[in-house]
């Protein structure tokens, strides 16, 4: 009997901590399964979903740039997908391929770890307008934050806010153009900033960069969750920490969404301790490579 195989699809896709996290879960729980990276360009997305439908894959995670486009190829979707407009997990169901969003659960896990689980009506800034940002906004509204989505493309921010407003009628939710001036002005009253773009991630075009302007002091009253996992800390997290603000990278969100996806795939309670240990070890190895220590 073949071992059930799960994949992460995205494009480009050269690195991820997810194989280490899910591999640890299968070993710790004694559940048969393996997890691989499957680089999938946009023109190959339909063929991959067809492969899931045909049984070639037991399930999958979905990352950039497919989180919204894949919806058109599915047979069913969860209420969270309908609310957020984004998919990060594919399940095999009796009706075909079902889309799920476990990024919301991941964000809630990360907010708890950061000590920011209760918004109490306070303002939060979300930087970015992709699939991850949609899940983050949903989680923040669930935790009673007043949310402002900022993007370098204001129209995309408005689309995200509009989609989530339909799921959360009456929510305190706005959108606007991301500029250095707007960001620093809004940060004067915001209590949380969640960064949802690849800026600052390890890579030739993003590493060492930060959404926070170099000339501006960082407000100590504003907690930061940066969804970038490697390097750790990112420049944004380092700036926030130096100012005395609570700050964390994206590892806890990655662990939280992986645990929920694994639960949906296997029907087994995820071994969170083993997954967390594997994630932290893999992140440390990746950070060492990034800084040239190995």
Is 202 among the residues known to form the active site? Answer: no
- CA gap 184, 48 in Å, rounded: 42
- CA gap 58, 25 in Å, rounded: 15
- CA gap 25, 229 in Å, rounded: 19
- CA gap 62, 38 in Å, rounded: 10
Residue keyed to tokens 């306070």: 122
Give me the count of residues in the chain.
294
Catalytic-role residue among 22, 66, 67, 138: 67
Residues acting as catalytic residues: 67
């Amino acid at each position: 009997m073949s071992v059930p195989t799960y994949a992460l699809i995205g494009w480009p896709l050269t690195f991820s901590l997810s194989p280490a996290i899910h591999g640890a879960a299968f070993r710790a729980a004694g559940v048969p399964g393996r997890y691989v990276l499957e680089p999938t360009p946009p023109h190959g997305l339909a063929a991959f979903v067809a492969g899931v439908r045909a049984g070639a894959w037991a399930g999958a995670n979905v990352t950039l740039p497919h989180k919204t486009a894949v919806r058109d190829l599915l047979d069913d979707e969860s209420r969270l997908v309908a609310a957020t407009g984004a998919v990060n997990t594919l399940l095999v169901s009796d009706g075909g391929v079902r889309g799920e969003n476990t990024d919301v659960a991941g964000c809630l896990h990360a907010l708890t770890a950061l000590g920011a689980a209760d918004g109490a009506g306070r303002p939060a800034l979300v930087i970015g307008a992709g699939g991850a940002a949609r899940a983050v906004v949903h989680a923040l509204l669930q935790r009673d934050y007043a949310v402002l989505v900022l993007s370098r493309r204001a129209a995309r921010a408005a689309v995200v806010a509009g989609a989530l407003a339909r799921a959360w009628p009456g929510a305190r939710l706005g959108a606007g153009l991301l500029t250095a001036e707007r960001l620093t002005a809004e940060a004067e009253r915001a209590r949380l900033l969640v960064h949802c773009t690849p800026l600052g991630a390890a890579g030739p075009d993003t590493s060492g960069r930060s959404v926070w302007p170099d000339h501006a002091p960082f407000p100590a009253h504003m907690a930061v969750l940066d969804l970038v996992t490697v390097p750790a800390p990112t420049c944004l997290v380092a700036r926030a920490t130096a100012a005395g603000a609570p700050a964390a990278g994206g590892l806890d969100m990655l662990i939280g969404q992986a645990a929920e996806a694994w639960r949906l795939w296997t029907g087994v309670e995820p071994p969170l301790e083993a997954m967390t240990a594997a994630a932290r070890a893999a992140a440390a190895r990746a950070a060492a490579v990034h800084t040239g220590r190995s």
